[in-house]
Amino acid sequence: MTYDQDNIFAKILKGDIPCDKVFESEKTLAFNDISPAAPRHILVIPKGPYTDIVDFASNASQDEQADFWAAVTKIAQDEGLNEKGFRSIANTGEHGGQEVPHFHLHLLGGEPIGKMRSKD
Ligand code: AMP
């Protein structure tokens, strides 16, 4: 899939639209989901133009990948998600239900998150 330079997260990264920022490093940004599915719902995104987790894992540099996972770890600890646990989700492509074509990891917590999958 070709990266869409005008997707909503690309616009956030360009500063064209605001976000409720939780964390930022040189190569990674995290912000609260605009439509939270749990008491805590944070999205972690690389700043580089990667469409999904496969694109990111295949094509991002080692520095970008290390920065991303360091950010996930720091956010999980600093935001208290790691105390009682949380769920991380990377929706991917059509069957994965991905709506925004810029790789993002959902971090969901703050209460028991329930079953891993629903057929709804
Ligand atoms: P996905 O279905 O995995 O692509 O998830 C996209 C997520 O982006 C959804 O949970 C949306 O609520 C969230 N979202 C869409 N627009 C924004 C925005 N402007 N700021 C924060 N989160 C957003």
Please tell me if the CB atom of residue 99 comes closer than 6 angstroms to any atom of ligand 1: yes
104 counts as catalytic: yes
pLDDT per residue over 69-110, tens digit each? 999 999 999 999 999 999 999 999 999 999 999 999 999 999
Mean pLDDT of 6-29: 98
Average pLDDT score, the chain: 97
Q: Is residue 114 part of a domain?
A: no
Neighbours of 62 (CB within 10 A): 7
CATH number of the CATH domain containing 43: 3.30.428.10
Residue 35 Cα, ligand 1 centroid: separation in angstroms?
7
Neighbours of 118 (CB within 10 A): 6
Spatial contact of 113 and 38, defined as CB atoms under 8 Å apart: yes
Task: Give the number of domains in the chain.
Answer: 1
Q: Is residue 119 part of a domain?
A: no
Q: Is the whole-model pTM more than 0.85?
A: yes
* Domain residue limits at 68: 8-15+27-109
Spatial contact of 11 and 17, defined as CB atoms under 8 Å apart: yes
Q: Is residue 53 part of a domain?
A: yes
| Dihedral pair phi/psi, residue 91, rounded to 5° | -65, 135
Burial of 51 (0-12, 13-18, 19+ CB in 10 A): buried
